[in-house]
Amino acid sequence: MTMILGVGSTNEAKLKAVSAVFGNEDYDIQGFETGSGVSLQPFSDEETKAGAEHRAAAVLAEGADAGIGLEGGVMEMADGLYLCNWGALTDSSRRVITAAGAKIKLPSGIAAGLHAGRELKTVMNDYTNRHNVSQQEGAVGIFTGGMISRAEMFEHTVRLLYGQWCFNRRIQQLSQDK
């Protein structure tokens, strides 16, 4: 039986990340338009993580068998503003698994735009004079010279989620077999 794996977004980079990890398995991957339950521009690890958790839970309410939420944000450190990203995975057990990914420091001009209340995707579109950067390589792709894309960054987080989920399912199966 095919499991419906819902992704709490229709963002191409996020769907590509989930498909890279779950695409060869017996999953029907579906993107759902969900809100994050946090501000449009999350400004801390905590807020970004909460957004991912909210997205994962929201797709279960839409009828998915398991849900993945991925959220990008920024976080302040002593030396500047950093990109951050979080993921959450939940299933019918309602256990929530979380993981975080790469962090890179944003250039001061980009950080200034965010501190002025603008959303990163808007700042990046203006910076690159393009549209939908967040659906493509993302800020991480721009600022790493294409070495890692937004989809690849989220893929790493999804792999962390999937590994934990498989581990937990094996442990649960072993305890039931006893």
Q: Note the pLDDT tens digit of each residue in 132-170.
A: 888 889 999 999 999 999 999 999 999 999 999 999 988
What whole-number percentage of the chain has pLDDT above 90? 82
Mean pLDDT of the residues in the chain: 93
* Helical segments of 62-149, H only: 108-115, 120-128, 138-143
Q: Tell me if 121 sits within 8 A of 150, measured CB to CB.
A: no
Number of neighbours of residue 122 by Cβ within 10 angstroms = 15
Let me know: does 110 contact 127? Beta carbons within 8 Å.
Answer: yes
Closest CA to 62 of 1, 8, 2: 8
pLDDT given for residue 148 in this prediction:
96
pLDDT tier for residue 23 given thresholds of 50, 70 and 90? confident
Q: How remote is the C-alpha of 91 from its chain's centroid?
A: 17
Name the burial class of residue 90, with classes exposed (0-12), middle (13-18) and buried (19+) by CB atoms within 10 angstroms of its CB.
buried
Q: Which pLDDT band, with edges at 50, 70 and 90, does 49 fall under?
A: very high
Cβ contact 72:48 at 8 Å: yes
Higher pLDDT, 171 or 151: 151
Give me the domain span that covers residue 123. 3-177
What are the backbone angles phi and psi of residue 52, rounded to the nearest 5°? -65, -45
Write down the pLDDT at residue 178: 65
Q: State residue 60's pLDDT score.
A: 93
Q: How many structural domains are present in the chain?
A: 1
In this structure, what are the phi and psi dihedrals at residue 62, rounded to the nearest 5 degrees?
A: -85, -5
> Is residue 175's pLDDT more than 80?
no
**Minimal CA–CA distance to 69: which of 6, 151, 137, 4?**
6
Cβ partners under 8 Å of residue 153, min gap 6: 17, 85, 101, 102, 138, 140
Quick one: pLDDT band at residue 15, thresholds 50, 70, 90?
very high
Provide, rounded to the nearest whole percent, the portion of the chain with pLDDT above 70.
Answer: 99
pLDDT top residue among 178 and 171: 171
pLDDT in tens, 53-87: 999 999 999 999 999 999 999 999 999 999 999 99
- Give me the pLDDT at residue 169, please: 86
Average pLDDT over residues 75-102: 96
Q: Which residues pair with 6 in a beta bridge?
A: 30, 67
Q: Which residue has the tokens 């006893």?
A: 178
CATH number of the domain that residue 144 is part of: 3.90.950.10
Give the mean pLDDT of 21-43.
91
